[in-house]
A and B are shown apart, each in its own frame.
Chain A
Amino acid sequence: MNVLNLFKIAFRALANNKLRGFLTMLGIIIGVASVITMLAIGQGSKRSIQAEISEMGSNMIMIQPGADMRGGVRQSAEDMETLKLEDYNDIVNETRYVSAVSPSVNSSGQVIYGANNAPTTIYGISPDYMDIRRYKIEDGEMFTAQDIRTAAKVCVIGKTVVDNLFPNGENPVGKVVRFQKLPFRVVGVLESKGYNTMGMDQDDLILAPYTTIQKKVLAITHLQGITCSALREDYTDQAVDEISEILRRNHKLKETDDDDFTIRSQQELSSMLTTTTDMMTVLLAAVAGISLLVGGIGIMNIMYVSVTERTREIGLRMSIGAKGIDILSQFLIESILISVTGGLIGVVMGIGSALVVNSVAHYPIFIQPWSVFLSFAVCTLTGIFFGWYPAKKAAQLDPIEAIRYE
Chain B
Amino acid sequence: MKEIIRLDNIKRDFQVGDETVHALRGITFTIYEGEFVTIMGSSGSGKSTLLNTLGCLDTPTSGDYFLDGVSVRSMGKNARAVLRNRKIGFVFQNYNLLPKTTAVENVELPLMYNPAYNSVQRKEKAVNALIAVGLGERLNHKSNQMSGGQMQRVAIARALVNDPAVILADEATGNLDTRTSFEILVLFQRLYEEGRTIIFVTHNPEIAQYSSRNIMLRDGHVISDVKNTNVLSAEKALAELPITND
Please give the number of chain A residues whose Cβ is less than 8 angstroms from any Cβ of chain B in the complex. Answer: 24
Q: Is A249 an interface residue (CB 8 A)?
A: no
Stretch of B31-39, B77-85, B203-211, B220-228 lying at the A interface: B77-85
CA distance A312 to B114 in the complex (A): 21
CA distance A312 to B77 in the complex (A): 19
**B81 contact set on A, CB distance < 8 A:** 318, 321-324
Please give the number of chain B residues whose Cβ is less than 8 angstroms from any Cβ of chain A in the complex. Answer: 26
Whether the Cβ atoms of B85 and A320 lie closer than 8 Å is yes
Given contacts A16-B100, A16-B101, A400-B57, contact A319 B90 (CB under 8 A): yes
Q: Is B182 an interface residue (CB 8 A)?
A: no
Q: Is B17 an interface residue (CB 8 A)?
A: no
Stretch of B104-112, B184-192, B237-245 lying at the A interface: B104-112
Stretch of B2-10, B91-99, B132-140, B145-153 lying at the A interface: B91-99
Whether the Cβ atoms of B58 and A400 lie closer than 8 Å is yes
CB contact between A313 and one of B98, B105, B110 (< 8 Å): that residue: B98
Interface string of B56-83 (1 = CB under 8 A from A): 0110000000000000000001100110
**A2 contact set on B, CB distance < 8 A:** 115
B86 and chain A: residue at smallest CB distance = A321
Given contacts A9-B112, A16-B101, A400-B57, contact A323 B82 (CB under 8 A): yes
Residue among A5, A16, A318, A319 having the largest count of chain B Cβ atoms under 10 Å = A319
A-B contact count (CB 8 A): 63
Whether the Cβ atoms of B113 and A326 lie closer than 8 Å is yes
Whether the Cβ atoms of A312 and B115 lie closer than 8 Å is no
Q: Is B196 an interface residue (CB 8 A)?
A: no
Q: Is A12 an interface residue (CB 8 A)?
A: yes
Q: Is A316 an interface residue (CB 8 A)?
A: yes
Whether the Cβ atoms of A321 and B110 lie closer than 8 Å is yes
Q: Is A198 an interface residue (CB 8 A)?
A: no
Whether the Cβ atoms of A321 and B114 lie closer than 8 Å is yes
Q: Is A67 an interface residue (CB 8 A)?
A: no
**B99 contact set on A, CB distance < 8 A:** 16, 313
Q: Is B52 an interface residue (CB 8 A)?
A: yes
**A399 contact set on B, CB distance < 8 A:** 57
Q: Is B55 an interface residue (CB 8 A)?
A: yes
13 contacts between A and B (CB under 8 A): A8-B112, A12-B101, A315-B96, A316-B92, A316-B96, A317-B109, A320-B110, A321-B82, A321-B86, A323-B82, A326-B113, A400-B58, A403-B96
Top 6 A-B residue pairs of the complex, sorted by shortest distance between their CB atoms: A321-B85, A321-B113, A320-B110, A316-B96, A323-B81, A16-B100
On A, residues with C-beta under 8 Å from B are 1-2, 5, 8-9, 12, 16, 312-313, 315-326, 399-400, 403
